[in-house]
Structure 1
């Protein structure tokens, strides 16, 4: 399949492009910033450019992973988020329809599901989040524009029958979190595999599964995250005493974490449920908390990336524009 991959210079793109090629796709990488996986430098917000690109390459599939992200809020005005995340998505969708593209995959985010109340953990129980959760009231311009782009995908599918799958990805970035300070580095990332993280490798493979299944499914919106080791029935206990819940699943976890001087979460405010992705697409993340703990138990390398010096292409571009 001839595939357009946007955001090819980004963290996901550098893993996704070679994995697509390994399974036989011919991939054109597009990004505003040059990079090894990027074949064409340009912006999806430029409609004439997008139309020319589709006319020249006749893409059979599109994976739209390019976007401005939450850390970019301090670097770019709101209008730029609308230009890239909303208008850019519409440009790609309409070009895909005009050129007979058979599969469209849109990389969205679980962030748009998080209200300020969920972020502040005001609920008395852990909030269990699946595709039916709502109402959705994104708390910043990033979430708002990704939500608008999701609705654009839905509308174009309804009007034009473009096979489209939306993937609401949980966290997979390698750098430090830009808002939470109670834990840092690998400890925080390891904890997040309980409820809100996946590896970039699993994220890439989920996109390939979506590209393959889009024409069969027609339209779908799915959470992509490592499967939690507990069920919805644990929500009350997860908020009050998560360490006890974790220890019931993994009896040696508290001791293993203590040996490293690490801390298990003192509270879990939300859990992402990726079971619909496994049900409909047959895809399940390979790396979960159990695998993370097994690596710790064996003093093996941790099965996820952490790089507190990572600089995103969007940050690099912003610096160049200053």
Structure 2
């Protein structure tokens, strides 16, 4: 198929575009910043541009991975989030339906599931989060606009029959966390593979599976994160003494971490459950916390990307 990939110059796009071509698809990349996989420069908020891309490139399916993200809150006004994340998604959905498409994949975020109360982690137990969790109360404009875009995908299926798969991805950015300096970036990413992170390669693979499975599923919302070793019954213990829970599941983790100068998390406040994606979508992340420990035992490279100097291509344009 000829796939329109938005966000083709971004972190996910640079991994997803080659995977799509490897699966036999042609990729039409759309982004506001130039990149090796970007054919068209422009914004999804520009309806005329989106219509022209569909007409000139014979687009047959859409993976909508572009948009503004949480770190962009300090750089762009709320209206720009609405224009890009909401109106831009609507532009793509309406053009896809007009073109007679039978599938649409949307990159959403687990961030929209995190209310201020969940973020504050004031409870006595970790919060177990899956697709049924709610009520959903996003804490910022990023989450609000992503949730609105998810709603547009849902009604595109309900009212127009366009199969839409929404992937609420956990963290896979390569740069350091913009709100936490301790522990170190690599240490934090390793810890997060226990409960809220995945690799960018797994994120890209999830989109390929969603593209294939969309017509059979119709509409679905799926949390995409590395499989957690925890169970709901662990939530209280995870909040009180996460390191002890981890050591029971992975007895050599404390020693492996100590040898590298890392620390296990003392407390975990939330856990993403991606089991629905495995059962219904047929997707499971290949890289998990056990892979981190295997790399530490072998003295091998860590199985995830870490680049503290990464800057989004759209920001390098000034």
Q: TM range, normalised to the smaller chain?
A: over 0.9
Q: Secondary structure at the match of 1:123?
A: coil
Q: Secondary structure at the match of 1:165?
A: strand
In the TM superposition, what whole-angstrom CA distance separates every residue of 1:190-215 from its partner, at most 9, and x where no partner exists? Answer: 00000000000000000000000000
Q: Secondary structure at the match of 1:4?
A: strand
Residue in structure 2 matched with residue 204 of structure 1 by the alignment: 204
CA RMSD of aligned residues (A): 0.8
The answer to whether the 8 A contact 1:44-1:91 is kept is: yes
In the TM superposition, what whole-angstrom CA distance separates every residue of 1:114-165 from its partner, at most 9, and x where no partner exists? Answer: 0111111011100000000011110011111001100111111111010000
Q: Secondary structure at the match of 1:95?
A: helix
In the TM superposition, what whole-angstrom CA distance separates every residue of 1:265-315 from its partner, at most 9, and x where no partner exists? Answer: 011000000000000111100000001111011110000000001010232
Which whole-Å CA distance do the structure 1 matches of 2:109 and 2:47 have between them? 24
Q: Secondary structure at the match of 1:241?
A: helix
Which whole-Å CA distance do the structure 2 matches of 1:245 and 1:184 have between them? 21
Residue in structure 1 matched with residue 308 of structure 2 by the alignment: 308
Which whole-Å CA distance do the structure 2 matches of 1:221 and 1:242 have between them? 29
Which whole-Å CA distance do the structure 1 matches of 2:200 and 2:69 have between them? 16
1:215 and 2:195 equivalent?
Answer: no
Which whole-Å CA distance do the structure 2 matches of 1:16 and 1:51 have between them? 23
Residue in structure 1 matched with residue 106 of structure 2 by the alignment: 106
Residue in structure 2 matched with residue 74 of structure 1 by the alignment: 74
The answer to whether the 8 A contact 1:226-1:285 is kept is: yes
Residue in structure 2 matched with residue 267 of structure 1 by the alignment: 267
The answer to whether the 8 A contact 1:177-1:184 is kept is: no
In the TM superposition, 1:2-41 aligns within 5 A as 2-41=2-41
The answer to whether the 8 A contact 1:68-1:314 is kept is: no
Runs of 4+ in 1 over 3 A off after TM superposition: none
In the TM superposition, what whole-angstrom CA distance separates every residue of 1:53-83 from its partner, at most 9, and x where no partner exists? Answer: 1122232210000000000111111111000
Which whole-Å CA distance do the structure 1 matches of 2:52 and 2:299 have between them? 52
Shift of 1:230: 1.5
Which whole-Å CA distance do the structure 1 matches of 2:156 and 2:101 have between them? 13
In the TM superposition, what whole-angstrom CA distance separates every residue of 1:233-257 from its partner, at most 9, and x where no partner exists? Answer: 1111111111111111100001110
Residue in structure 1 matched with residue 48 of structure 2 by the alignment: 48
Task: State the number of aligned residues.
Answer: 318
Q: Secondary structure at the match of 1:308?
A: coil
Residue in structure 2 matched with residue 57 of structure 1 by the alignment: 57
Q: Which runs of 5+ in 1 are unaligned?
A: none
